[in-house]
Structure 1
Amino acid sequence: MTLADGTYRLGPSTGRLLIRTSRAGLGRRAGHDLTIEATRWSGEAVVAVADPDGSSVSVTVETGSLEVREGTGGLKALTDADRAEIKRTLEGSALLHTAEHPTITFRSTRITGTPQSFEITGELTIKARIHPVTVHGKSNDDRLLHGWATVTQSTWGIKPYTAFLGALRLADEIRVEFDVTGLEPVDGAG
């Protein structure tokens, strides 16, 4: 499938949206590098292949939909109880405060490059704070589109998780990744 001009819906039926964390601190061997998936998200992409600046992307993620999919490293395997505790921590006031801030949004402000290699500059809103982010992307034979951005949590007022009096902590920088495996045209497009 090749990328064609049009307006497309994005969401779990068209791809995956992942957050990857890493550990820091003296106790980092005890913790896990996490892969967290947004299970409820939606978006729209306007594609103008010959005129990338005429393209745009917007995505909204429900903060309560973040689910721990994998935990690698650590002294012991990640348990279901660990996953439940991580989800409670994510949703709490110290991190995302999902009750007060039920969504995270991204809106592109500029797109450059080609479908094979592109950059999307935009505004990421987390906990009512808006800051610029650059998404790097590419297209290849395996996936229609793949991309990633580095997000520094403290920029949005998120204090990275710590344990054992700070000896174990999540790194401030996390990696947000997406894979688009299919496209759903908005009625009359594509």
Structure 2
Amino acid sequence: MRKSLVLGSMLVVPVLAAASLAPLSMQPGSRVWVDGTSTTRSWHCESTHAVGSAAASTTDLAQLANVGSASVTVPVATLDCRNNTMNGHMRNALKAAEAPEIRFRATSVKVNATGADAGTAEMAGTLSIAGQERPVTINATVARENGQVRVRGSKRITMTEWGVRPPSLMLGTMKVAPAATVGFDVVLKP
């Protein structure tokens, strides 16, 4: 009896240890968007189908001072501009057939807790758009809410730096500006 108890304990400990090391993963309610302007109006395209994780196993902000890595992936086909024509132009501009995902991979995440449930984060890594990767640093706010971590931020980019040619329509009378803002509001939990 004692041997089976010891053997059972030996099997349970690695399982519990692995569970405690489970990374934080993105939860429903997370969203990523791209905002920009054109010569005729501003535009907003959003996806609620992003997936991602962070190499941390706690939502305690004080223990998240340095997170080794994090990632977010957004399928381009899930970005919705609430206009089918615009969706098509956006997907063509982002080269969705060749590069079907927008990805951010952070190799360093520094969290600065400003209180028990709030803080800021600086994420350094690579942003991949239209198959082109560029190094970026993104600043965000972090908050602990209902046992989860909510991370919100944005990064202003110039599309042409990623090889994206802003759409131009009606013989050039309607042009999309090359500057855009990639924003995110993601919820993570173990």
Alignment TM-score > 0.5, same fold: yes
User: RMSD of aligned C-alpha atoms?
Assistant: 2.5
The whole-number CA distance in structure 2 between the counterparts of 1:125 and 1:15 is: 19
Q: Does 1:177 align with 2:183?
A: yes
Matched with 1:42 is: 51
Return the match for 1:125 from 128, 150, 158. Answer: 128
Bigger CA drift: 50-59 or 129-138? 50-59
Matched with 1:22 is: 37
The whole-number CA distance in structure 1 between the counterparts of 2:55 and 2:29 is: 15
The whole-number CA distance in structure 1 between the counterparts of 2:179 and 2:161 is: 10
CA contact (8 A) 1:14 1:183 kept: no
Amino acid at match of 2:133: I
Q: Write 1 or 2 for the structure with the bigger share of helix.
A: 2
1:124-143 correspondence to structure 2 within 5 Å:
124-139=127-142
Return the match for 1:151 from 154, 157, 162. Answer: 157
Q: How many residues align?
A: 158
Amino acid at match of 1:38: S
Return the match for 1:60 from 70, 73, 77. Answer: 73
Amino acid at match of 2:71: S
Return the match for 2:110 from 109, 112, 136. Answer: 112
The whole-number CA distance in structure 2 between the counterparts of 1:170 and 1:46 is: 37
The whole-number CA distance in structure 1 between the counterparts of 2:97 and 2:151 is: 32
Matched with 1:88 is: 88
How far is the alpha carbon of 1:141 from its aligned partner?
Answer: 8.2
Unaligned runs of 5+ in 1: 70-82, 186-190
The whole-number CA distance in structure 2 between the counterparts of 1:154 and 1:144 is: 30
SS at match of 1:139: strand
How far is the alpha carbon of 1:88 from its aligned partner?
Answer: 1.1
The whole-number CA distance in structure 2 between the counterparts of 1:168 and 1:174 is: 16
How far is the alpha carbon of 1:109 from its aligned partner?
Answer: 2.0
Amino acid at match of 2:66: D
Unaligned runs of 5+ in 2: 1-20, 114-118
CA contact (8 A) 1:16 1:38 kept: yes
How far is the alpha carbon of 1:67 from its aligned partner?
Answer: 0.2
The whole-number CA distance in structure 1 between the counterparts of 2:52 and 2:122 is: 17
How far is the alpha carbon of 1:54 from its aligned partner?
Answer: 3.3
SS at match of 1:123: strand
Matched with 1:78 is: none
